[in-house]
């Protein structure tokens, strides 16, 4: 957010861990990412709609704890969800470029 309360950039980052410090009313105060962080900053005027949303993200409001003591409760719906296997889609395998030495055959008759 800029000083005039406008947003003009989308930040897409990846990291092993993330922690948020929140202000009152669930406003983000600080985002901490570690140990290694990669990503990009995209100006909003050039960002595609698909870049503004997380792929395959789902919000399960009915599973979210509403009170602090509910953090330790596991609902029946949560137990059902945990028991189901979840498979990540594997990235497409990249074909390896041929080794530079394999592209050329030496002519020994010269």
Which pTM was predicted?
A: 0.46
Distance CA 39, CA 48 (A): 16
97 has pLDDT over 70: no
* pLDDT tens for each residue of 13-71: 999 999 999 898 888 889 999 999 999 999 998 999 888 888 878 888 888 888 888 88
* CB contact at 8 A, 29 and 23: yes
Looking at residue 73, what DSSP letter applies?
A: -
Distance CA 48, CA 55 (A): 13
Phi-psi region of 56 (alpha: psi -120 to 50; beta: other; left: phi over 0): left
For residue 30, the model assigns a pLDDT of: 92
Q: Which residues touch 11 (CB under 8 Å, ≥6 apart)? A: 39, 40, 41, 42
Cα–Cα–Cα angle for 34, 62, 49, rounded to 5 degrees: 55
């Amino acid at each position: 957010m800029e000083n005039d309360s406008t947003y003009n950039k989308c930040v897409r980052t990846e990291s092993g861990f993330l922690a948020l410090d929140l202000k009152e009313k669930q406003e983000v105060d600080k985002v901490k990412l570690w140990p290694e962080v990669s990503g990009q900053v995209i100006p909003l005027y050039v960002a595609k709609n698909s870049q503004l949303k997380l792929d395959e993200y789902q919000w399960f409001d009915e599973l979210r704890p509403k009170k602090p003591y509910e953090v330790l409760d596991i609902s029946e719906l949560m137990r059902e969800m945990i028991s189901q296997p979840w498979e990540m889609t594997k990235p497409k395998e990249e074909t390896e470029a041929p080794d530079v030495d394999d592209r050329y055959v030496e002519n020994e008759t010269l």
